[in-house]
Structure 1
């Protein structure tokens, strides 16, 4: 197996891990995202569930960086500026993910302090919880929606121009990038709810695209002729 073939498989694995870990994290975070009962996470014995969600988000962060580290050098052979833009926006997405992780850990700590009696059920506790839940909600818009939409459009465009993968696959990526970006905008202005079916349906295609890209890279790798062409350029 050549280096390029190996890297294609690694990129594909990272995309699969990113998709799976993001979905799992959302499911595991449900107790701590409850606006009415989040402070009972510790007393309900749900801390470990949330912490498993945090670990999945850490895996998402690593996977996001991993796909970029292995993919960007190939895209840079065609257009260094756009590849750098892709790298930068992907990095910003990772930063937002990290901030979201911190917000979840703060909520867990507040719940544990409430359960141990260090703080009482006061307006300050509830306000603090709402504030950190709001941080996480905005992070979900800025990172997994807006930044994801931008960097997906950039690398899909470069994949289309380099022909490292089939054109139809890259074109599908451009469409899904617009869709997930629009989902974030609609959520930002309160037109759709953050965890609604509508937002899920608008955002889902980008996940399908990433999984399709992952499977293609693992099974077939980059197109050999395209690799030769961008290497010569």
Structure 2
């Protein structure tokens, strides 16, 4: 297997791994997310929450891995373009990890409250709810606001270079801006992120990532189209050569002295 083909296979596998671990991790968090008073009265289930945290850590690492494998491919198109993609992916992974830490902190608060008989339940409850809110905001900022530009950048690259079929890239070109608009509406309270509208707006990006992953696993990246080469410039015409200079005219020979008119007499007496 060539390096180019191996890169495509790893990238496709990481896209699938990131999607699976993200959804599975969210389901494991239900003891905290479904009980607003989890810190003081919710079910313990620390192991389940820890499993969700581990899944989200794997998701974050998968996102970082995607940026590493895609960077050499994007760099052939434009260096700054590739660096921008990596930066947005790293931002997404960082925000995801912040959300993981916040929910693990809620579990710690729950355990600490259970061990402290005289603890102020209202204080624990307020801090626990604040930490859950941190996770909710990271879930909006990371997998939505930060994901949108990286999705659009890679999809645009794929569309321009035809590295995958254009209908696959077009899903990302449409889905990236759409999920950004949806996250902005959620930010301003138009609707909840986990809602019908939120799911509909996220569907194109999900379809793009899964279709792209399947294509990369089966076919890989197509060879980029060669850039059109300019026609060779015509050879310059040789400069006209100057006519050779004529040889200088011969100087007239000096006239011979006329002989004396009278023969036999010297000219000078």
User: TM-score under structure 1 normalisation?
Assistant: 0.92
26-35 or 53-62: bigger deviation: 26-35
Higher relative contact order (CA 8 A, sep 6+): 1
Please name the residue that 2:178 is paired with: 179
* C-alpha distance in structure 2 between counterparts of 1:27 and 1:8, whole Å: 29
* C-alpha distance in structure 2 between counterparts of 1:190 and 1:213, whole Å: 32
Please name the residue that 2:144 is paired with: 145
Q: Which runs of 5+ in 2 are unaligned?
A: 228-269
Q: Which has the larger radius of gyration?
A: 2
Pairing 1:8-87 to 2, within 5 Å after superposition: 8-39=8-39, 44-87=43-86
Q: Which runs of 5+ in 1 are unaligned?
A: none
Cα separation, partners in 2 of 1:119 and 1:150, compared to 1, 3 Å: farther
Please name the residue that 2:193 is paired with: 194
Name the count of aligned residue pairs.
Answer: 228
Q: Is the 8 A contact 1:75 1:162 kept in 2?
A: no
Task: Find runs of 4+ consecutive structure 1 residues off by over 6 angstroms.
Answer: none
59-68 or 162-171: bigger deviation: 162-171
Q: Normalized per residue, which structure has more helix?
A: 1
> What secondary structure is seen at the aligned counterpart in 1 of 2:216?
helix
Once the two structures are superposed, residues 177-206 of structure 1 have per-residue CA deviations (whole angstroms, 9 ceiling, x without a partner) of 112112211110111113222212211221
Q: Is the 8 A contact 1:172 1:209 kept in 2?
A: yes
RMSD: 1.9
User: TM-score under structure 2 normalisation?
Assistant: 0.80
Once the two structures are superposed, residues 180-233 of structure 1 have per-residue CA deviations (whole angstroms, 9 ceiling, x without a partner) of 112211110111113222212211221121111000000000113x1x748xxx
